[in-house]
Structures are given as C-alpha cells and as structure tokens.
Homo-oligomer: A and B are copies of this chain.
Amino acid sequence: MFKFNPHREKFFDLFKEAAENALAGARALKEMFETYDNPQESWKKIKDLEHEGDRVTHRTIRMLNQTFLTPIDAEDIHALSTALDNVMDAIEAAASRMVLYKIDKVSPEALELCEIIVTSTEQMAKAISHLPKLDEMDDYCIEINRLENAADDIYRKAIGDLFNEERPPLEVIKWRDVFEILESATDRCEDVANILESIGLKHS
C-alpha cells in the first residue's frame, strides 16, 4: 500500500522540513540565550524561521487538499502539521518575551530549559525521519516524554526560587511567563510525540 504511493515521500519530506525548521529555531534560541549580545536581532532571526515554518505548513495543507490518497490519514497529516507549527511558535514566543519584557540578562534556568528544547526537537526530528514505523519512532518518543518531565522539574525549581529570592513582583511576573513558555515548548514536542505514536499505532 505504501510502496506505490507517489505522495508518500512528499508529505514525509514536508514533515521532516517542519521538524528541521523547529530544530533550527531551538538552536537559534540557544545561541540567543548564550550570547545575548543583540536580543532584538536574535528574535528577528527566529521570527524568520517561524515564518518559514508557516510556509511549510501551508504547503502541507495545500497538498493535502489536492491529494486523494494520502500515505497516512488526512486528519493525522493535519494534526501533525499543526503540532509541528506549535513547537516553532512556542520557541518564537519565548524569544519575543525576552525582548518585549526588556530582560537584560538570561537566567541559568532559562538556558537549561533551552538546552532541553534543543534536545527534544532533535529527538522529534529523528522520530519523524522514521515515520510511520512505531518500533523505530518509539524510543525517541519516550525520550521526548522524559525530557518534558525534566523541563517541568527545572521549571518548578525556577519559579519556586523566584519567590524565595524576594524579587520585585514585576520581575517575578516576567520570569514566570518566560519559564512557562520555555516549558510549554517541551509540552508541544510531547504533543508531536503523542501524534507520532498514534499514527504509528495505526500502521503497526
């Protein structure tokens, strides 16, 4: 059934492109956090990647509308495409808050969360390269779940510390928001992993 579907590679190529793009976004965020010499410029770079991701999503949906037989269910293509877009959106949202809130220094926990986002998007890209084979995607999906738990632990410690250090309330509100968005990026990777597992289950 799969072997002779001419659209198979094209859809899977678009998913790979979206995942690689999210990974590029995660790496750009890490570079932004590590150097932090021109946050405005770093944000612009990440925004460009987000727009690139939007274009991939639109191409996927357009192809979906023109394709009669899809290699995986049309609604799964739609769901996966949307979920990949959400990963990139969360990464861009994190970058935006650093600039909008005029934050002048990156906290160590923000960098830690960012490193987890890079690893999680790496696992996501690897899993997607094995679509739709559940056996070959599964280890990556499990790792993405583990990384989400690790990010949640860092997030909790970070917001606990925010309050204990008696910082000014506005600082607390800003950083809580940044930590929350960073943590949510790993949740969005987990959403992708859940959809991959669900697709894999149908094809195993």
Contacts and interface: CB of A to CB of B under 8 A. Distances in A.
Contact of A159 (B64, B79, B100, B156): B100
Nearest to A64: B201
Nearest to A204: B65
Given A163-B174, A170-B172, A172-B173, A201 B78 contact: yes
- Number of copies of this chain in the oligomer? 3
Interface in A164-185: 164, 166, 169-170, 172-174, 176
B156 A100 contact: yes
A129 interface: no
A163 B159 contact: no
- A interface majority secondary structure: helix
A44 interface: no
Contact of A160 (B101, B156, B157, B163): B101
A194 B83 CA distance: 11
A55 interface: no
Given A61-B197, A96-B156, A173-B173, 5 more contacts: A74-B198, A75-B198, A78-B198, A169-B172, A172-B173
